[in-house]
Structure 1
Amino acid sequence: MKLGIMQPYFFPYAQQFRHIAQCDQWIVFDTVKFSRKSWTSRNRVANRDTEWGYISVPVAKGATNGTIAQAEIGQTDWRSTFFNQLRSYETVAPYYLQTIGILRNCIEADVDTLGTLNTRILRTIASSLGIQTEIKRLSEMELELPTAAEPGEWALIISKQMGASVYSNAPGGRHLFDSDRYLKNGVTLEFYEPAPLEYPTVGLPFVPDLAVIDTLMWLGRDGVSQFVLS
């Protein structure tokens, strides 16, 4: 069984969905401390005036004292702001309406924590793209985990308890991992290899590695599905 583990980003880029599709199981690592300067509560989309701009979800005061799973969403009308920030795509992106429909399914449910919201985003978009990978939240699993571990050790500890034979990590952070240590524990360590992804845009700049929202706007659900399942 190939396992992937990652903190739950707010609308991660298309490459992450391709990574998820290559795994048998994916664990949402939502038990780590929430940070306001991370991708868990914000991401980037194209902007006509400034090349790109942030989209975000407000998180309640004091959230940095707890985990991503515990971080409460701020009580504001953030969804209206979110959709307004995507209006730059409305008259130029061929799959604007289709994408907005997918996004409504992602964020219009009544959820109160960031961990729940971002997991719903992952599952909803993955399902829309035809990804069969099982997505689980670490905070909801009954694994026996230490209170602290080195960055490269968490994946090994979880992989062993999950019975994974292969652990697939994101492209970065190779220096944190000891492949020999993984092998000695019966786990093969792999790193996801991003595939080239560039597409034509009209009226807005192409910026690599924006939120998957941008890719959906220009390629549509079928086009993005073809990419992530390749």
Structure 2
Amino acid sequence: MKVAIMQPYFLPYIGYFQLMKSADVFVVYDNIKYTKKGWFNRNRFLQNGSDAWFSLPLQSDSDSLDVIERKLDPAFDKRKLLNQLSAAYKKAPHFANGFELLRECVEYEESNLFRFIHHAILTTAARLQIDTRVVVSSSIPIDHSLRAQDKVLAICEALGATTYINAIGGTELYSAEAFERRGMALRFIKPRALEYRQFGAPFVPWLSILDLFMFIDENTIRQSVVEFDLIPAQEPDACHAHK
């Protein structure tokens, strides 16, 4: 049983879905602290040949709240966000397909930040034909006051994991020995380089999955989801990738 765990991100990059595809069970944290500098409600898109940010505006609230406790701003103008991204991608070869996904995610009627993002994750995974079981972290019967590696180990044990797979950026966060003591292997996923034509300008990598849907046909994107390498924990020279 392979388990992967991630924070909830809105329309994240291809590596997020490769991690999901690599696992039998994919856990999405809902009871994790929201941070302004995180990727929860924002991501990058292509604008005039460079990367730019798009974001979901949030209702003002305490910085100590978990993601599940945060809400979208009641004044969130969904049409404005759709128009912003439409203007950036309207000449892309697969604009209609990409914009259909975008609308399905953005027009979802939900004010809770986590549930809004969770819907977008599931919607995108379905389009990519990923059949991994997705579980919300708070539904798992563990001590949720645990933190960092201890919480990951508890989640993996509760789910009966034999292997824990993490994004390549977390190689320094976990101890292979700690997992081995619990009867589990530790692996890291390394996305393979994916480059495609973006209006003929120099390629801008690791943008939101939305960028791929705008420029590449859906079957090719589905194939790219399985193009990754699983690296044993002891390999020290694995490179980092962006979200």
TM-score (norm 2): 0.88
What is the 5 A alignment of 1:1-230? 1-48=1-48, 51-86=50-85, 87-91=87-91, 93-139=92-138, 141-149=139-147, 151-202=148-199, 205-230=202-227
After superposition, the C-alpha distances for 1:209-228 in whole angstroms (9 at most, x for unaligned) are 11111111111322211110
Give the secondary-structure state (helix, strand or coil) at the position aligned to 1:172.
Answer: helix
Is the 1:129–1:225 Cα contact (8 Å) retained in structure 2? Answer: yes
CA distance in 2, matches of 1:115, 1:136: 13
Shift of 1:145: 1.7
Amino acid at match of 1:147: S
CA distance in 2, matches of 1:75, 1:220: 35
What secondary structure, in the 3-state scheme, does the structure 1 residue paired with 2:165 have? strand
Partners of 1:2 and 1:123 in 2: CA distance:
19
User: Secondary structure of 2:45's match?
Assistant: strand
Structure 1: which 5+ residue stretches go unaligned?
Answer: none
Pairwise CA distance, 1:173: 2.0
What is the identity, as a one-letter code, of the residue corresponding to 1:178?
S
* Aligned partners of 1:48 and 1:205 also within 8 Å: no
What is the identity, as a one-letter code, of the residue corresponding to 1:95? H
Q: Secondary structure, in 3 states, of the residue corresponding to 1:176?
A: coil
- Partner SS, residue 152 of structure 2: helix
- Deviation of residue 187 (structure 1)? 1.2
> Aligned in 2, Cα 1:64/1:205: closer, same or farther, shift over 3 Å?
farther
State the 4+ residue runs in structure 1 displaced beyond 6 angstroms. Answer: none
What letter corresponds to residue 90 of structure 2 in structure 1? Answer: E
Q: Is 1:34–1:63's contact at 8 Å kept on the other side of the alignment?
A: no
Asked if the contact 2:2/2:164 (under 8 Å) is kept, the reply is: yes
Q: Provide the secondary structure at the position in 1 that maps to 2:69.
A: coil
Query: How far did 1:170 drift?
Result: 0.7
Q: 1:204 offset after TM fit, Å?
A: 5.2
Distance 2:65 2:103 in 1: 28
Structure-2 separation of matches of 1:32 and 1:220: 35
Following the alignment from structure 1 to structure 2, what is the Cα–Cα distance between the partners of residues 117 and 143?
24
Following TM superposition, by how much is the alpha carbon of 1:52 offset from its aligned partner in structure 2, in angstroms? 1.5
What SS does the corresponding residue of 1:85 show, helix, strand or coil?
Answer: helix
Alpha-carbon RMSD: 1.5
Query: Match for 1:5: what amino acid?
Result: I
Between the aligned partners of 1:78 and 1:64, the Cα distance in structure 2 is: 23
Q: How many residue pairs were aligned?
A: 226
Give SS of 1:81's match: helix
- Deviation of the 1:142 alpha carbon: 4.0
